[in-house]
Structure 1
């Protein structure tokens, strides 16, 4: 477990002198609390996150194909195969879409427990783990209760809750890496900050810029105290840029069937985007990032600069889903904004302005209260509803229908059936089999999207004949004859 360097615990000239014996007697309880309570908070958060995400799964409430895609990838890794995601197209290598080899770390666990629930629980654990360094860093600067208030505010932050509620994504690995890195930065453990940041290049291709941003903040902070650490930081900053360029221009195109990076089009102004498109949405997102999470005080810390790469690529994109507060895109910003707040609290409490010192004293409790209040309209509010703890009969009936598909069969499906099939079948996205006639087709038609399911299937596969095996609560299973 990382511990602060002695220099991080020393008092500044503006603080009253405390003798060594007094310092030990007053600081020791804080250190003990900092070692115990962050982990207890993380356990509580894990339980909450797990109940919400697994509860959505038990209600057949997946909101996209992402959980299925990641399960296919991790299932491939678990069997020592190339990371193929047939949902993206037959034989599609996921490294040609996003560069996230870090997900292979879940392969051994998935091999033992082959279920999408394994991914959801792992994500909940990683999200909860990130609360430990955040709470610990805050406790070192603000004391036991101030640190715990910041930890609660972070754990219940809206960006984290939205990510918990949206299937599984590789960014769950980024949160603890960023949080541990910035905790070390605040404790002036420069090398540890850099070491924690560097693996981010294996989480997702765009995080190379985040590595560079962290390294530049380290270089700035260490420039006088440790010139050697500053040089290391500059080297890591260069490494982040090089990793990003190599990944985008060489690695991903080499695995992509078109020989390119598919997401260039989403940052192309000719595609309808641009930094000023959706400006109202982008401004609202910035307000959500800074006001309830930090009371705007995070703006006083250079650590907030670490958020700029993620905010930048999202806001120049032509893809509206990147701009707002939905989905999982804001999760990686939560530890950055929160620890920027912690950094700002540590310096602003010595301000000569009385109003600012008063604001700082009350802010940890205020951001915790804001997170608690907002939770009533966020995913964790479901913890107070009895339905989340029960599996509906509708879902059990649909699972019995899908259980008729034998292991190893090929299936073409839309969102709802996917999560019950990817652990044991080869699953394609509807309309994306590229000439393959699958053994089964499973369609969620509960909203009557397809007026004539059999006619629709004939249009997809005119050379094959499919008959309906069952229709349960709008989920239709067809078998090839």
Structure 2
């Protein structure tokens, strides 16, 4: 073990350094109440439920009655974190998200180590950790697709080595992360198969490759159309609605894609309604892909196949927040672009250009990732570690709420109050026994500020008791 550490000392130091940056971003945001009910609160509530051997009933739904969250997103991977809930509480998922990102980076590094020499594997590791998609995801809570994306380098590494058992194990874990991971895995397997077909290297086990492809498609179909509806009988959360401009269901959406490829191509660059101001989000994504090394996928086109469902998932959506570089919707680009960069440099005829190219894209990826500094990413600024909120008073006051009580809370308070059977997001009070609201200093979503203040006063008037109130926090007993 010591010999292994010595052999990879530089890479380990790089990993530790970036691990500190990632932790300062994610964990400090959570402590400073810059994490939210959507999505950390949802999944921490699920973690609490699984840790107590209960199903994850989605009480934070904005409409309808609560139902099993597996009917919204099929992410059993959350349950595997449950034992650690008792050690890390509301920080559990965030800690493991950081660890998985570092783990994914190590997979990229080993992939590079087997194909490149000198300092290039270490540079590739830095390149991967410089990707905008990682920072956008860390700045916005916890997401199951981040875990899946960080397992992809290991899947490809083991697949290329011909290690079937470990390939299958990682493949299975990725499928457990989220239902749409199966479609991505089908594209990844297809890309790997075409790579070896075109290179005619004789390394391909076609029965194994085809089996993984068929399992991916079959798994998605079974989970999406048979299993998830059993947990969501009223169809209260249908993500296909994000693609309503293409059709009302899977068949009509696929028909639109196949029958009008010109329109699909235009949607890669334009807003469905032609709004130029919104279309810039798509331009921004394409720009970030290029300056972050996406050009490597052009030289290694099987990686473009792997990115196809990610582009489709983002660009064909009717929601502008999916199109750009914010939130967790870009995390899948990071491992694919990094691995494409490895193979491009590996096959580059002018070997003396490899290090300069790697340094160039590290520089551009880093520069455009940090300029301008985006929301919740200011780890190198004092403002990241300070807030106008009196955090000590807020945390002490929240302890006044009984742990077994049902609670309705402001969006930023939900992750810190989710360790109970029933947690709701204001203004969905339902049968909550207590209401906890941040009066200022944080976004009031899902309400506009004026509406939030009005609803807060209505809640105060109907409450039986004001448990606590100061400049920032109001706790009511109903």
1:129–1:228 distance in 2 versus 1, CA, 3 Å: closer
Within-5 A mapping of 1:322-333 = 322-333=322-333
Q: 1:135 aligns with which of 102, 109, 116?
A: 109
Q: 2:83 aligns with which of 108, 131, 135?
A: 108
The answer for the alignment partner of 1:364 in structure 2 is 358
Q: Shift of the alpha carbon at 1:158?
A: 0.8
The answer for the alignment partner of 1:173 in structure 2 is 147
Q: 2:409 aligns with which of 409, 413, 430?
A: 413
- Secondary structure at 1:87's aligned position in 2? coil
Q: Shift of the alpha carbon at 1:363?
A: 0.9
In structure 2, how many angstroms separate the alpha carbons of the residues matched to 1:167 and 1:36? 31
1:281–1:451 distance in 2 versus 1, CA, 3 Å: closer
In structure 2, how many angstroms separate the alpha carbons of the residues matched to 1:114 and 1:370? 36
The answer for the alignment partner of 1:284 in structure 2 is 284
Q: Shift of the alpha carbon at 1:205?
A: 1.0
**Stretch deviating more after TM superposition (442-451 or 219-228):** 219-228
Q: 1:73 aligns with which of 34, 46, 53?
A: 46
The answer for the alignment partner of 2:274 in structure 1 is none
Q: Shift of the alpha carbon at 1:270?
A: 6.6
In structure 2, how many angstroms separate the alpha carbons of the residues matched to 1:444 and 1:213? 44
Answer with 1 or 2: which has the greater Rg: 1
- Secondary structure at 1:477's aligned position in 2? strand
Q: Shift of the alpha carbon at 1:207?
A: 1.2
1:205–1:34 distance in 2 versus 1, CA, 3 Å: farther
The answer for the alignment partner of 1:252 in structure 2 is 228
The answer for the alignment partner of 2:446 in structure 1 is none
Q: 1:234 aligns with which of 210, 222, 225?
A: 210
The answer for the alignment partner of 2:128 in structure 1 is 154
- Secondary structure at 2:408's aligned position in 1? strand
Q: Shift of the alpha carbon at 1:304?
A: 3.1
- The one-character-per-residue Cα deviations of 1:409-445 (angstroms, maximum 9, x if unpaired) are 1111121221221125631112334xx3311111222
The answer for the alignment partner of 1:429 in structure 2 is 425
Q: Shift of the alpha carbon at 1:387?
A: 4.8
Contact 2:297 2:304 in 1 (8 A): yes
Q: 2:244 aligns with which of 268, 275, 278?
A: 268
Q: Which runs of 5+ in 2 are unaligned?
A: 254-262, 272-278, 442-448
In structure 2, how many angstroms separate the alpha carbons of the residues matched to 1:228 and 1:385? 50
Q: Shift of the alpha carbon at 1:150?
A: 1.3
Q: TM-score, normalised by structure 2?
A: 0.83
What root-mean-square deviation, in Å, do the aligned CA atoms of Structure 1 and Structure 2 show? Answer: 3.0
Q: Shift of the alpha carbon at 1:88?
A: 1.9
In structure 1, how many angstroms separate the alpha carbons of the residues matched to 2:465 and 2:327? 37
Q: 1:456 aligns with which of 440, 450, 458?
A: 458
- The one-character-per-residue Cα deviations of 1:358-386 (angstroms, maximum 9, x if unpaired) are 65441111122223334544469633334
Contact 2:243 2:318 in 1 (8 A): yes
Aligned residues: 438
Contact 2:405 2:433 in 1 (8 A): yes
Q: Which runs of 5+ in 1 are unaligned?
A: 2-28
Q: Shift of the alpha carbon at 1:48?
A: 1.7
Contact 2:25 2:378 in 1 (8 A): yes
Q: Shift of the alpha carbon at 1:217?
A: 2.4
Q: Shift of the alpha carbon at 1:136?
A: 2.0
- The one-character-per-residue Cα deviations of 1:148-180 (angstroms, maximum 9, x if unpaired) are 111111112111011111111112321331011
- The one-character-per-residue Cα deviations of 1:388-407 (angstroms, maximum 9, x if unpaired) are 45687611111122221111
Q: 1:52 aligns with which of 25, 41, 53?
A: 25
Within-5 A mapping of 1:344-355 = 344-347=344-347, 349-350=348-349
Contact 2:145 2:181 in 1 (8 A): no
Contact 2:36 2:413 in 1 (8 A): no
1:458–1:47 distance in 2 versus 1, CA, 3 Å: closer
- The one-character-per-residue Cα deviations of 1:316-372 (angstroms, maximum 9, x if unpaired) are 11111111110011112200111011111111x22xxx6xx5654411111222233
1:421–1:305 distance in 2 versus 1, CA, 3 Å: same
1:121 aligned onto 2:95: yes
The answer for the alignment partner of 1:478 in structure 2 is 476
- Secondary structure at 2:378's aligned position in 1? helix
In structure 1, how many angstroms separate the alpha carbons of the residues matched to 2:67 and 2:210? 37
Q: Shift of the alpha carbon at 1:101?
A: 0.6
1:270–1:135 distance in 2 versus 1, CA, 3 Å: closer
In structure 1, how many angstroms separate the alpha carbons of the residues matched to 2:424 and 2:152? 35
In structure 2, how many angstroms separate the alpha carbons of the residues matched to 1:367 and 1:454? 49
Q: Shift of the alpha carbon at 1:271?
A: 8.5
The answer for the alignment partner of 2:308 in structure 1 is 308
In structure 2, how many angstroms separate the alpha carbons of the residues matched to 1:70 and 1:336? 26
Q: Shift of the alpha carbon at 1:200?
A: 2.0
